[in-house]
Amino acid sequence: MSTSMDTIADHGPAHHADTVDRSGPPLVEMKDISIAFGGIHAVDNASIDLYPGEVVALLGHNGAGKSTLIKILSGAYKRDSGEINVRGETATITNPRDAKKYGIETIYQTLALADNVDAAANLFLGREIMTPLGTLDDAAMEAEARKVMGRLNPNFRRFKEPVRALSGGQRQSVAIARAILFNAKILIMDEPTAALGPQETAQVADLIKELKKDEIGIFLISHDIHDVFDLSDRVVVMKNGQVVGSAKTSDVTKDEVLGMIILGKCPPGATPGPGAMRD
């Protein structure tokens, strides 16, 4: 839904139209979130939201607070202040189990895999398939693992080895597979393609588009501005723990977004946040 005439020329050819329905309540709303580690305000009064079928890209320099913000949503960190709403209702998320109950699945930047067990054990960690006798059904889990990994990384064969023995990209595929295996409603992807080859990256891009169609909301953290413009409906930029601003991806140019990231300068097409540079 490009509105202003002058931005059209700047758009890359790959750009898509904004089809997200924002009339209902947001899927997720994080309001005035703050957290400090010792003296460092890692996240400072940040507010973001996400609608069904929407991809919101979260951008910012290293240490801007992106991972910390989404880790509060995934239950890994307890916020100092602020509130989280899921589908318009206050959500209590104090640990990862709570978040999963709301259908929030996360691909962590660190992948968060148990290196000493195999891919199937990692995919089902915390949600194992059991036999009727109450024992682990490893064969069934391996079968599911083969299915989902076949979708993401068809060349993957090493189902019997501990994930420590896998390559960085293979490990990342395992982490992605784990997040999509359990019918996520809200998906957090913290640099999901950082270690992937071109083919696997393309597969993740296809996956994101597919998940969008299923009305899943996705927070995508990425340093790859081309990927961001390819995949996201909105961008949110953070700097030093604060939100610089947010914009529909179609309303801003790549250069403007880079300006937001590096200088904290909010362009006219964006809604400024508390972290925007004042002039």
Partner 1 sequence: MSQAVSDAPAGTKSVQAESGFKRFLRATEIDTRMLGMVGALLVIWIGFHILSGGTFLTPRNLWNLSVQTASVGVMATGMVLVIVTRNIDLSVGSILGVTGMVMAIVQTTWFTPMFGFNSPMVWIATIGVGLLCGLAIGGLQGFVIAYMGVPAFIVTLGGLLVWRGAAWWVASGRTIPITDDNFKIIGGGSDGSIGASWSWIIALVAIAFLAWSTFNARRQRHRFKFPVKPMWAEYLTFGVSALAVIVATFIVNSYLLPGPLARRYAEANGITMPEGGLEIAFGYAVPVLLFIGVGVVMTFIARRTRFGRYVFAIGGNPEAAELAGINTKRVTMMVFALMGMLAAIAAAISTARLTSATNAQGTLDELYTIAAAVIGGTSLAGGAGTIAGAMLGALVMQSLQSGMVLLGMDTPLQNIVVGAVLVVAVWLDTIYRRRAA
Ligand X SMILES: Nc1ncnc2c1ncn2[C@@H]1O[C@H](COP(=O)(O)OP(=O)(O)OP(=O)(O)O)[C@@H](O)[C@H]1O
Interacting residues toward Mg ion by CB under 5 A = 67, 109
Task: List the interface residues with partner 1, window 114-173 (CB under 8 A).
Answer: 114-117, 121, 125-128, 130, 134-136, 138-140, 142-143, 162, 164
Residue 68: name its binding partner from Mg ion, partner 1, ligand X, none (Cβ under 5 to 8 Å by kind).
Answer: ligand X
The whole-angstrom separation of Cα 27 and Cα 217 is: 7
Measured on CA atoms in the order 63, 64, 70, 73, is the torsion positive or negative? positive
**Is 251:270 a contact under the CB 8 Å cutoff?**
yes
Nearer to partner 1, 95 or 199 (CB): 95
- Site residue total, partner 1 (CB under 8 A): 32
Taking CB atoms, the residue at the shortest distance from Mg ion is 67
Nearer to ligand X, 59 or 176 (CB): 59
Residue/partner pairs of 209-213 with CB below 8 Å, 24 or more apart: 211/180, 211/184, 211/187, 212/53, 212/54, 212/55, 213/53
Residue span binding ligand X (CB under 6 A) among the ranges 26-34, 63-71, 111-119, 173-181: 63-71
Angle at Cα 202 formed by Cα 200 and Cα 207, nearest 5°? Answer: 95
Residue span binding ligand X (CB under 6 A) among the ranges 35-43, 129-137, 200-208, 270-278: 35-43
Residue span binding partner 1 (CB under 8 A) among the ranges 22-30, 105-113, 222-230, 237-245: 105-113
The whole-angstrom separation of Cα 70 and Cα 109 is: 11
Nearer to ligand X, 65 or 259 (CB): 65
Q: Which of 30, 59, 64, 163 binds ligand X (CB under 6 A)?
A: 64
Report the nearest approach of ligand X to the CB of residue 172 (Å). Answer: 15
Instruction: Please report whether residue 96 would count as binding partner 1 according to CB under 8 A.
Output: yes
Instruction: Please report whether residue 97 would count as binding partner 1 according to CB under 8 A.
Output: yes
Nearer to partner 1, 1 or 114 (CB): 114
